[in-house]
Structure 1
Amino acid sequence: MPITVKTFGSAGEAASALSSDRSARYLGGGTLVMRAVNEGDISISTVVRANDQALQRIDAAGPRVTIGAGVTFAKVLAERDLAFLHAPARSIGGPAVRNMGTVGGNLFAPNPYGDFAVALLALDATVAVQGGFGARDVPIEEFLQSRERQAGNLVISLSCQKPISSDAFRYRKVTRIRPKGGSVITLAAHVPMSSGRVLGARLALGSMAPAPIRARAAERALEGRPLDASTITAAASAITEGTSPVDDALGSAWYRREIVGVHFRRLLSGQE
């Protein structure tokens, strides 16, 4: 089946092309779209691109960072002000994938991928999208739960607050092939402290549901308490509540449920 490629000078023009053609897909780094095309996905007949520099922009000077959807993971790793996102970026594939894969595209990556989206979910990111209904900001949790219905929208950028301290945000990816394998489980935790107690905990899990999800029961177990062994153990015992992992070549649903609490305790305890 022939593929039509359309290149536009602005993100707005590309967004209009996407919203008016159900068979169109946006091509950023190509790690998802080109794989689908090469595997014969007949739902794609048009590939849309944009040469808009706004999609490549990083604004990380202040307390809130904004990252263009077309920014690659290699570029994230080169940005000193994004040091808190270096671990998630480094866990994405090998150098070739990090040189091409984009932060916007990762929002659409199915299990066992999409690890950067897990980190952004824990950081309460906002996704700026543009489509047939104009431009709007969408909370990342809402975006991820509806991402199958986002085909007609173009992701413009993502933004989040910087963690208040270097140990407030923690990330771990469990994989059988390091560092570039698919995720058995991925964990991200934002646990800001105030007066020695957790205030505003956000915990996110990858490969524990069809899309990255928050571990709300574990968040409640942490909230308002000191981050000590008993609190961490209580939160770990609740970490699987609301999850629905699947069986795949990397691990069974049973195995994922068994190990996620172990790795969660290690993550919050500072263990390797």
Structure 2
Amino acid sequence: MPVTVKTFANFGEAASALSSDRSARYLGGGTLVMRALNEGDISISTVVRATDQALARIDVASSRVTIGAGVTFARILAERELAFLHAPARSIGGPAVRNMGTVGGNLFAPNPYGDFTVALLALDATVSVQGGLGARDMPIEEFLQSRERQSGALVLTVSCQRPASPDAFRYRKIARIKPKGGSVITLAAHLPVSGGRISGARIALGSMAATQVRARAAERALEGRSLDDSAINAAAAVAAEGVSPADNALGSAWYRREIVGVHLRRLLSGLE
């Protein structure tokens, strides 16, 4: 089946073309769309591209960063001011994938991928999308819950909190093939501290549900407490509450439930 490629200089025109054609898919780095085409996905008949440099912009403020959807993981790794995102970016594939894969594309990556999105979820990101009804900002949780309905919308930017200190954000990916393997589980934690106690804890998990999810029971176990052994053990004990992992070649649902608490304890304790 022939595939039509449409390239636009303006992201607004690309968004219009995407929203008006149900068989169209946006091509950013190509790590998802080209794989689908190469595997014979006949639901895609049009590929939409945009050369608008606004999609490759990075804006860093004192407390928040805004990253264009077309920014690659290699670019993230080259930016000193984005050092807190280097670990999740480095965990995406090998150099070839990081040179092509984009922040916006990772939002659509199915399990066992989408590791960078786990970090964004822990950092309370906002996703800016443009579709047939115009542009709007969505909390990342809302975006992920409706991700299957977002195929006709173009992601423009992702913005997230900038952690107040290096210790405030932590990330860990468990994979059988490092660094480029699919995730057995992925964990990220943002732990802001006020007056020596955690205030506004957010813990995100990958490969533990149909999409990336928050470990809300673990968050509640940490809230208002110092990050000591007692709090860490309490969070680890409830890490698997509310999750629904699936069986796949990398691990069973049972195995994932068994190890998520172990790795959350290591993450919160600062252990490698």
Q: TM-score normalized by structure 2? A: 0.99
The residue type paired with residue 97 of structure 1 is V
Alignment of 1:72-221 (within 5 A): 72-221=72-221
Residue in 2 that maps onto 1:10? 10
**In 1, distance between residues paired with 2:136 and 2:61?**
23
Cα distance in 2, alignment partners of residues 101 and 271 from structure 1: 29
Displacement of 1:60 in angstroms is: 1.4
For 2:76 and 2:134, locate their aligned partners in 1 and report how far apart those are by CA, in whole Å. 28
Distance in structure 2 (CA, Å) of the matches to 1:50 and 1:185: 33
**CA deviation profile, 1:44-93 (whole Å, cap 9, x unmatched):** 00000001000000011432100000000000000000000000000000
| Counterpart in the other structure of 1:242 | 242
Once residues 223 and 163 of structure 1 are traced to their aligned partners in structure 2, the CA distance between those partners, rounded to angstroms, is 17
Cα pair 1:58 1:68 within 8 Å, conserved: yes
Return the alpha-carbon distance in structure 1 between the equivalents of residues 219 and 66 of structure 2. Answer: 26
The answer as to whether partners of 1:61 and 1:81 remain within 8 angstroms in 2 is no
Structure 2 gaps of 5+ residues are none
CA distance in 2 between counterparts of 1:22 and 1:101 reads 23
- What amino acid sits opposite 1:236 in the alignment? A
Task: For 2:22 and 2:122, locate their aligned partners in 1 and report how far apart those are by CA, in whole Å.
Answer: 31
In structure 1, C-alpha distance between the alignment counterparts of 2:196 and 2:152, rounded to whole Å: 45
CA displacement 1:222-241 (0-9 Å, x = unmatched): 00011110111111111111
Does structure 2 retain, via aligned residues, the 8 Å contact 1:191–1:198? yes
Matched pairs, number:
272
1:3-42 Cα shifts (integer Å, max 9, x gaps): 0000001110000001000000000000000000111111
In structure 1, C-alpha distance between the alignment counterparts of 2:61 and 2:80, rounded to whole Å: 10
Amino acid at match of 1:243: V
Is the partner of 1:172 in helix, strand or coil?
A: strand
The CA distance in 2 between the partners of 1:191 and 1:254, in whole Å, is 28
Partner of 1:26: 26
Pairwise CA RMSD of aligned residues?
Answer: 0.6
2:63 and 2:245 map into 1 onto residues whose CA distance is 35
1:247 is paired with a residue whose SS is: coil
Tell me, in whole angstroms, the C-alpha distance in 2 between the residues paired with 1:18 and 1:214: 30
Kindly provide the amino acid, as one letter, of the partner of residue 159 in structure 1. S
- The CA distance in 2 between the partners of 1:184 and 1:169, in whole Å, is 21
Counterparts of 2:234 and 2:132, CA distance in 1: 46
Q: Match for 1:145: what amino acid?
A: Q
CA contact (8 A) 1:6 1:49 kept: yes
User: Distance in 1 between the 2:37 and 2:89 partners?
Assistant: 25
CA distance in 2, matches of 1:222, 1:203: 10
- Runs of 4+ deviating beyond 3 Å: none
Q: Distance in 2 between matches of 1:196 and 1:265?
A: 20
Q: Distance in 2 between matches of 1:133 and 1:82?
A: 32
Contact kept? 1:205, 1:215, Cα under 8 Å: yes
| Residues 125-165 of structure 1: CA deviation (Å, up to 9, x unaligned) | 00000000100000001101110100110000000110011
Instruction: Quote the Cα distance in structure 2 between the aligned partners of 1:240 and 1:232.
Output: 14
